[in-house]
């Protein structure tokens, strides 16, 4: 089945140690999104790619970066994770058509020790 895949499902990193989360999709969607969801909170958009065009949300910290080497893959890099970055990170995709629904992966739960 076509889907959005996130690896790993659980990631533990140390305070200040860079970490990369990955997302891949088989839907051939041209838009990919990264959301952060902290415990008991709603998902919050960090940034998205329309094809190779990167769009950062205004309040996304500089500590968060992203790469999209091709249509299928997108990476979230956290340069120096702090304890406050512990969260579920959700990848989503959609077509770039008016009102297209977003398809979410299962998420990667990041723990910072």
Partner 1 sequence: DAKTTQPTSMDCAEGRAANLPCNHSTISGNEYVYWYRQIHSQGPQYIIHGLKNNETNEMASLIITEDRKSSTLILPHATLRDTAVYYCIVRVAESGGSNYKLTFGKGTLLTVNP
| Pairwise CA distance, residues 35 & 17, whole Å | 21
Which of residues 21, 31, 78, 87 is near partner 1 by CB under 8 A? Answer: 31
Among 44, 56, 72, 111, binds partner 1 (CB under 8 A): 44
Bridge partners (DSSP) of residue 7 are: 22
Are 52 and 66 in contact by the 8 Å Cβ rule? The answer is: no
Verify binding: residue 43, partner 1, rule CB under 8 A.
Answer: yes
Considering only residues 11, 45, 72, 111, which one is a binding residue for partner 1 as defined by CB under 8 A? Answer: 45
Q: Does position 97 bind partner 1 by CB under 8 A?
A: yes
Q: How far apart are CA 85 and CA 94, in angstroms?
A: 25
Note the residues at the interface with partner 1 (CB under 8 A): 4, 31, 33, 42-45, 48, 50, 90-92, 94, 96-99, 101-107, 109
């Amino acid at each position: 089945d076509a889907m959005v895949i996130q690896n790993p499902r659980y990631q533990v990193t140390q305070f200040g140690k860079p970490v990369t989360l990955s997302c891949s999709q088989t839907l051939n969607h041209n838009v990919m999104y990264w959301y952060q969801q902290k415990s008991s909170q709603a998902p919050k958009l960090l940034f998205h790619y329309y094809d190779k065009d990167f769009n950062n949300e205004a309040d996304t910290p500089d500590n968060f970066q992203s790469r999209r080497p091709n249509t299928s893959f997108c990476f979230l890099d956290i340069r120096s994770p702090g304890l406050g970055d512990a969260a579920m990170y959700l990848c989503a995709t959609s077509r770039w058509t008016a009102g297209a629904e977003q398809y979410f992966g299962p998420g990667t739960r990041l723990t910072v020790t």
